[in-house]
Amino acid sequence: MPTPTESFNALRVAAFESRRADDMTRLIERAGGTPFVSPSMRAVAVEETRPVVEFANRLLTGQMDALVLTTGVGTQHFIDQAERHVGRQRLLDAINDTTTVVRGPKPAALLKELGIEPTLRVPVPNTWRELLELLDAKLPVANLVIGLQEYGVTNPSLIAGLEARGGKVDRLQVYTWDYPEDLAPLQANIDRLAAGEVDVVLFTSANQARHLLKLATERNLREKIVEAMSRMVVGSVGPTCSDVLRELELPVDVEASPPKMGTLVAQTAAAAHDLLARKASVASITILPSPAPENSAPYEQSPFMKACRREPTDYTPVWLMRQAGRYMPEYRAVRSSMGFLDLCRNPKLCSEVMCTAVEFLGVDAAIIFSDLLPILEPMGLDLEFAPGGGPVIHNPVRDASDVDRVVDLQSVEALHYVIETVRQTRADLPDSLPLIGFAGAPFTLASYAIEGGASRSYLHTKTLMYRDRPAWDALMSRLARAVAIYLNAQIAAGAQAVQLFDSWVGCLGPHDYQTFVAPHVRHLIEQITPGTPIIHFGTGNPELLPLQAAAGGHVVGVDWRIDLGDAWKKIGHDRAVQGNLDPLVLLAGRDTIRQRAQEVLDQAAGRPGHIFNLGHGVLQQTPPDNARALVDIVHELSSK
């Protein structure tokens, strides 16, 4: 019997297994669930046998260098249909004499029953990616003819991968997928899903999801089901199934490893209750309230929010990037007992760290305590903050096939701790103090994902950008969509403004920024909740400032590499600006800090729309009292 932590504990579980429906029912019941298993598809042999016979004859006459068998059902259909015309033993001898590559245990088991030992076996999880990797290592396909027994549906990624490697693909489809003969059980499950009467949904095949949504569309229930499933726990048998679920705009909360039906049930049962609670929590946080009258909340009349709107203020508002960080002893005390990611995943401590800093400094806005990179984890990147070092991505993205495995983020459940940090921090701050949410911009996130960490040359990033524009655009589009979802969730949870950090974009020249970055940033910013001030911050190259402004944002953040007055001219006076004291000035004496702060204020010339900040984050070596003194100096010098 499963333990309480491994049990569905009476949750309602829908599944769509056909051939092994009884097995799936028993597995769900043993895991403590209430099963609703409805067959969703059946394999149907193609009616036209001529292509099968012609394929078999090409195999018999040695016109294929290798034969790839992707499914047990398809292999059996091929043999059953071809042997009537070419003879069973001749066909088996030809298969035995050809290099055979089998994907998964079922075609391998069938060949063994026929007395044939497969030449190569695709390793788990048996997807097209592992198939291509196996061929690269054991059977380079350049100039080879590859006979391919397809799934019930064509896999364009596999075909493209083989052809890109110089192989000629000889395709054979011997069966297709159709609805089950009795549609009543599947229709009943569709009704349950639409009514929200299911807690967990399990898919052991991508085609199950396709058929489910196809029939739901025919019954005008697709949108209702997709929306309802966002609140349910969705389990996938493996990576190929997961890819299709995401393409169909369905969440993937659990992916079985290894990709087996029993593992899928067990792992989903173990995680289901926590996942449902997390989804309910995030949903309750991120439901947008009814619009309040304009500027009615206390923080809306704060100097910071007025400056974002380019309205006059009694003094220049100031906040500091990385204002809660390693320069503060309170922060170091917290970090001494836990890792950085552990701290980021503790909303109460994140709020405490930020609120302590805000109270000490006397700033005019708080920013949530988090990091740019956690968003990459639910997108499939293996992130680690190494002790004493910076962030490391252990599975960096280097080519188009790597881009394919980057998950398209569709919800923020996996980042629930950040959303809860927003809610907790908003609750702990004074009502008059605005809260800023933030995220990394697509280029900076892409660079981390591609380089695997920090970089000086951005060698791998620019290589992908220049050599494979489609892969680059696919990655940037995926990141832009994810960041928009992420920032909107922060806004719904209580952030009054958001900042987009493009900390690494300065490595680009204006033409490259305009070509490879600006379209994606523009699309991202267009998706942000209307009425929310957006601070668009980049560093390293002042020539990018007018292009950043054109890409979008109400406020453009400026680093210290250009005078603020010159920067504002480049940006245009129809935008607010933020910046731009050199962070190293805070290591100097108070007289120098005062002098340099005055210079920045003089360059702003009292125009509405200036938010004072550093040109980047507070450095670890900064004396805390100097940071607090800067805030006091800005308030004093700018008061009217």
- Which residue of the set 335, 522, 561, 628 is catalytic? 335
- Which residue of the set 222, 278, 322, 478 is catalytic? 322
Contact 154, 129 (CB under 8 A): no
Q: Could you report the per-residue pLDDT of 141-169, keeping only the tens digit for each?
A: 999 999 999 877 778 888 988 998 999 99
- Please determine whether the domains at 4-41+181-286 and 44-178 fall in the same fold group of CATH: yes
Write down the mean pLDDT value for the chain: 92
Q: Is the pLDDT of residue 404 over 90?
A: no
Q: How far is residue 220 from each of residues 30, 116, 226, 231, 490, measured CA to CA in Å?
A: 35, 48, 12, 20, 32
Fold for 4-41+181-286, please state it: Rossmann fold (3.40.50)
Q: Give the pLDDT score at 640.
A: 67
Q: Give the pLDDT score at 57.
A: 96
Span 302-638 CATH architecture = Alpha-Beta Barrel (3.20)
Q: Give the pLDDT score at 280.
A: 83
Whether 423 is a known active-site residue: answer no
Give the pLDDT mean for 472-480.
95
- Which residue of the set 30, 58, 246, 326 is catalytic? 326
Q: Which residue has the tokens 């940090």?
A: 421
Whether 322 is a known active-site residue: answer yes
Q: Is the pLDDT of residue 42 over 80?
A: yes
Give 287's pLDDT tier (boundaries 50, 70, 90). Answer: low
Paired residues of 555 in beta bridges:
535, 576
Give 481's pLDDT tier (boundaries 50, 70, 90). Answer: very high
Q: Is the pLDDT of residue 6 over 80?
A: no
Q: Give the pLDDT score at 91.
A: 96
Contact 167, 146 (CB under 8 A): yes
Q: Could you report the per-residue pLDDT of 291-313, keeping only the tens digit for each?
A: 444 557 899 999 999 999 999 99
Tell me how far apart the alpha carbons of residues 77 and 55 are, in angstroms, rounded to a whole number: 13
- Domain locations in the chain as residue ranges: 4-41+181-286, 44-178, 302-638
With b for 16 or more beta-carbon neighbours within 10 A and e for fewer, the 303-321 pattern comes to bbbbbbebeebeebbbbbb
- Which residue of the set 151, 299, 331, 448 is catalytic? 448
Q: Which residue has the tokens 């900390």?
A: 503
> Domain spanning 44-178: which CATH class is it, in words?
alpha beta
Whether 371 is a known active-site residue: answer yes
Contact 65, 99 (CB under 8 A): yes
Q: Is the pLDDT of residue 289 over 60?
A: no
Which of 625 and 456 is assigned the larger pLDDT?
Answer: 625
Whether 335 is a known active-site residue: answer yes
- Which residue of the set 23, 65, 191, 371 is catalytic? 371
Whether 448 is a known active-site residue: answer yes
Tell me how far apart the alpha carbons of residues 155 and 151 are, in angstroms, rounded to a whole number: 7
Give 286's pLDDT tier (boundaries 50, 70, 90). Answer: low
Quote the pTM value.
0.72
